[in-house]
Amino acid sequence: MRVLSNVNIAGMRRFLEEQLPGQHMDFAPYDQVAQEFLDPSSPLNTERPKFVLVYLEGFRLFQQHSGEISEFAQAVDLVETRLKEVLEPIGAYLQANPERRALINTLAYPMSNGCHSLDRNTRFHTAMIDAFNLGLSRWRSERRIDKLIICDWAAAAARLGSASLYDERLWYIGRIPLSPRGQEELAALYARSIRALSGSSKKVLVVDLDNTIWGGVIGEDKMQGIMLGEDGLGKVYRDFQMQLRRLKDRGFLLAIASKNNEEDVDQVFAEHPMMALTYDDFVARKIGWNPKPESIAQLSKELALGLDSFVFVDDSPIERGAVKQALPDVSVPEFPSDPFTLNSWFESVTAEYFDTLMQTNEDKHRVEMYKADIRRQQESGKFADLEDYYRNLEMEMRIWVNHREQVQRIAQLTQKTNQFNLTTRRYDVSDIERFIASPNVRVYDTELVDRYGSNGIVGVIIAKIKGEAAEIDTCLLSCRVIGRKVEQAFFSFVADDLAKTGVKEIVAEYIPTTKNAPAEGLLDQLGFGGVDGLRRLRLSPGKVPGGIGMYCPDYIRVEAKAQ
Amino acid sequence: MTLDTRIVDAVTRVFNVDPGAVSADLKIGDVSEWDSLGQLNLIVEIESVFGTRFDGEQLISLNSLTEIQKELADRNLLSSQV
């Protein structure tokens, strides 16, 4: 990554390295922001940084003209000029380099100017900061620069207190506006967005119950004794439950691992009038006396999600320690010693582990879909062989080509799918739109429906057609549907469709990562020739009328949706 | 003179050097990380460890561990005897 700024923030390096181990990073000389973007010979254009971090210091951006502003209209004009100066080069750069991402901060109020008591009335410095920040969101949305990620430094500074984040002495000595603490917080802010962009956010939050989602111990304090309500500490726990529910609505999974008598817990969930959560909000629950590491390991298995997607929240240091020791891949944040601080603490937990940059319809229904998975898994034990089980599922695939209504979900799948992903290329909405608009690219997506309901859009294949050959740029399936021969049905449809457009050969490559071993055998299974690197599949028409005769399991009904 | 261990820790952390390499006569320029930017980082780290605040002038002039330790001693921030 490359870091650009209108001030000296080289001191942020050690904090960024701490936050993002293994990332190569370098810092441009300061005050060269626009030049770096525009100059074709700048490192930004000659080297190929995946991420460009831009930090703008508000008082530097507006200081030259600060004395001249006396009319509101002037302030508005100046803000528009600055937005244009900053964002036009970035927008052009991102359009020319679609695989890269830029991060930019919202401006914090200046250290000194903002304190002027008449500022809002006559000088408009703080109003300009507000307008600029609003303008960032407006530009991003109106011009559809979705590769530009806005990091809310203004909100962070308001929460943490500018006085501790800025240091006037360092500014005058070294053109360094931020104190080390400020640099550390800024690095953390950028790092969170980068982690969210890299698809490394967690997927499941496992919570304890007693003294975690309510105050007190249900086995001892009974229904009337636990703290949960509209006042004091009871309100703290109720608000915490509401935060958990919002997390669920954003597409993350909640699960319970508690040591309780199940009947006690059933009664709280069924009868306590102040519970904000219901059993339905949880994808699974492990209530009993099993060791918690065991419960979490079971959850991982049932949900087919790696332990590194789990975060465990428990008030007991002993339980936290046991989980940390037995399951080092699970993230186990410390729990606040003062329960009154539970909600702000949890905000920071969600910021660290559950950051996302967009939301799709699938997110809202994720809990139901995972619950159906668990039912499917339980059922699978009842069948003599796998094929019987597949047949019983009554699977139906609906496949779209260039499905404009689902660009969000398609982009999201490319960003979040780690396991069954042939090439692990990450795209966002504008990339997918570009592919769809291109006459030489076909974007396929598929919804899988079975007797337990819809699994949502679960697979994407992107094929780039070059003459008589088609290159598989992307081929992925959500890990929830792996192992049902869905990939076979999906790919055979795609091969068929490509053959109809005149393609005679499909070229594909497996690009290994630390996580995508499940996709390693796919090209063999589909009959691609060769062993390593680019592998080829000749399409031989005629084996089946109208098709290329690739094997498609007969227990999956495939339906082409018009597009 | 022996160094207060909190000073050694701060130097180790800010410059990412081995504690064994941190001696009382260490000064600006002796390790590559201790340049003019490193100077500021170190002094501000010392401030936060000892809960004190130096003048802007001192941010530049306190550029050896001997001087840093002496200033902290003058402020009565070091434990009993070093």
Q: Which residues in chain B are contacts of A167 at CB distance < 8 A?
A: 44
Q: Does A170 touch chain B (CB under 8 A)?
A: yes
State the ipTM, two decimals.
0.86
Query: Is some CB atom of chain B closer than 8 A to the CB atom of A179?
Result: yes
Say what the pLDDT of residue A132 is: 96
Domain regions of chain B by residue span: 5-74
How far is it, in rounded angstroms, from Cα A539 to Cα A504?
Answer: 5
Say how far apart CA A153 and CA A165 lie, in whole Å: 11
CATH superfamily of A362-560: Gcn5-related N-acetyltransferase (GNAT) (3.40.630.30)
pLDDT at position A119, please?
Answer: 72
Q: Which residues contact A239 (CB under 8 A, 6 or more apart)?
A: A343
Delimit the domains of chain A by residue range.
2-197, 204-353, 362-560
For B8-44, write each residue's pLDDT tens digit. 999 998 898 898 889 999 999 999 889 988 899 899 9
Chain B residue numbers with beta carbons less than 8 Å from the beta carbon of A173 are 40, 56, 59-60
Q: Return the CATH fold of A2-197.
A: Rossmann fold (3.40.50)
- Say how far apart CA A403 and CA A446 lie, in whole Å: 10
1.10.1200.10, 3.40.50.620, 1.20.1530.20, 1.10.10.10: which CATH number matches B5-74? Answer: 1.10.1200.10
Q: Å from A172 to nearest chain B CA?
A: 9
Per-residue pLDDT reduced to its tens digit, A168-179 = 899 999 889 999
Q: What is the pLDDT, as a whole number, of residue A541?
A: 60
CB of A174 less than 8 A from some CB of B: yes
CATH of the structural domain A204-353, one choice from 3.40.50.1000, 1.20.120.430, 3.40.630.30, 1.10.10.10: 3.40.50.1000
- pLDDT at res. A114: 47
A282: enclosing H helix or E strand? strand A282-288
* Confidence at residue A549, expressed as pLDDT on a 0 to 100 scale: 58
Strand stretches in A251-354, DSSP E: 253-259, 282-288, 310-313
For residues B35-60, one letter each, b for 16 or more C-beta atoms within 10 angstroms of the residue's C-beta and e for the rest, the string is: eebbbbbbbbbbbebbeeebeeebbb
- Secondary structure (3-state) at A476: strand
Question: Which chain A positions have a beta carbon within 8 Å of B41's beta carbon?
Answer: 11, 180
Residues of B with CB under 8 A from a CB of A: 14, 16, 36-37, 40-41, 44-45, 48, 55-56, 59-60
What whole-number distance in Å separates Cα of residue A6 and Cα of residue A60?
7
Query: How confident is the model at residue A358, as a pLDDT?
Result: 67
Could you tell me if A259 and A288 are in contact, meaning their C-beta atoms sit under 8 angstroms apart?
yes
| Contact indicator for A423, A473 with CB cutoff of 8 Å | yes
pLDDT of residue B8: 94
Q: What is the tens place of the pLDDT at every residue in A281-324?
A: 999 999 999 999 999 999 999 888 889 999 999 999 999 999 99
Which residues of chain A are under the pLDDT cut of 50?
A: 114, 543-547
Domains A204-353 and A362-560 agree in fold:
no
How many whole angstroms separate alpha carbon A459 and alpha carbon A475?
A: 8
Distance, in Å, from the CA atom of A424 to the CA atom of A473, rounded to the nearest integer, reads 9
3-class DSSP state of A2 = strand
Provide the pLDDT for residue B82: 44
Query: With an 8 Å Cβ cutoff, is A175 touching chain B?
Result: no
Cα separation, A526 vs A488, whole angstroms: 7
